[in-house]
Structure 1
Amino acid sequence: MKDRLPTADDVVLGTKADLDQVLGWLEREYEEDGEGFWCNRNLFPKALDDEDFYVIRQGGEAIAFQLGHYSPDIANVRKDKQRQGFGTALLNAAIARARRDNVNILDVECARARR
């Protein structure tokens, strides 16, 4: 994936190790900016248990995630990896799961990344 844009095929179910990595960078981003999804950290363990936690890894490290099987409850890309197609890949994977399972409506709300 390093030499190409990420695709829906790069999105996989997250593991406990992925969860630890994601929570680590969310906490760092919150400490730096006072923003982000760190305040929602209590939602992550249930999503992992329910197999509703998806990630994209690069170099073995989780750098993007989505909570929610179809419509994302939360989706985010690590700040240093934004604007490289990872968010699009997360959404495309959710759409592919919805099509596969004959889900007709997805509800997505977006917030623009800050620079």
Structure 2
Amino acid sequence: MDVIKQASTVFFPEVIEWLKAENERDGTGFYCNRNVIERLFSRGDGLCYMVAGRTVGFVVFQMYIDGGEIHIIEIEPSFRQQGLGSQLLMAGVEALRGKGAKYVEVECTSLEGEALCRSQLFEKYIDPVNYKNEDDNPILRRYFSEWRPSPPNPWA
């Protein structure tokens, strides 16, 4: 039976095992972010996708003042292309909405990640303070209402 559970350090060793294997096999994945993943797992700021008692995916996130950010979403390679990433992404979005987020933001570092987010109604967001150029990784946001931040004042 598939189930999504709150992340905790109990699930971390299994996740790190397949992240490390993916990194050693083809140099991809988020093994390089293991410290961030462990910290967010220890705070319960994430969710794990379980299949038959095995952790096959996770999402880690953080709540800010009025919005949330999804830092990492990853599915173990042999479980990809089954819709688990979409389910996990939306569970993370709903967790942040439940904490009071007006929007959820994600910085996409892969074309696959960007396609996943866009399929779930995320739209391009240009941060007026931190935007550098078109070569930056795209930031996508999903809003929970018609609310949008005010455009920057070009005269300020």
Match of 1:45 among 38, 41, 61: 38
CA distance in 2, matches of 1:12, 1:72: 16
Where relative contact order (Cα < 8 A, 6+ residues apart) is larger, the structure is 1
Structure with the higher fraction of residues in strand conformation: 2
CA contact (8 A) 1:22 1:62 kept: yes
**SS of aligned partner of 1:63:** strand
User: What is the aligned length?
Assistant: 106
The match for 2:98 is 100
- CA deviation profile, 1:30-66 (whole Å, cap 9, x unmatched): 1100111111111122112211131001111100001
**Contiguous gaps of at least 5 residues in structure 2:** 63-67, 114-156
The match for 1:7 is none
**SS of aligned partner of 1:84:** coil
The match for 1:28 is 21
Runs of 4+ in 1 over 6 A off after TM superposition: none
CA distance in 1, matches of 2:8, 2:98: 23
**SS of aligned partner of 1:24:** helix
CA contact (8 A) 1:64 1:78 kept: yes
TM-score by length of 2: 0.61
CA distance in 2, matches of 1:25, 1:108: 23
Tell which structure's C-alpha radius of gyration is larger. Answer: 2
CA contact (8 A) 1:64 1:75 kept: yes
CA contact (8 A) 1:71 1:94 kept: no
Structure with the higher fraction of residues in helix conformation: 1
Give the superposed CA RMSD. Answer: 1.8
The match for 2:81 is 83
Match of 2:72 among 74, 96, 99: 74
**SS of aligned partner of 1:71:** strand
TM-score by length of 1: 0.80
C-alpha deviation, 1:101, in angstroms: 3.0
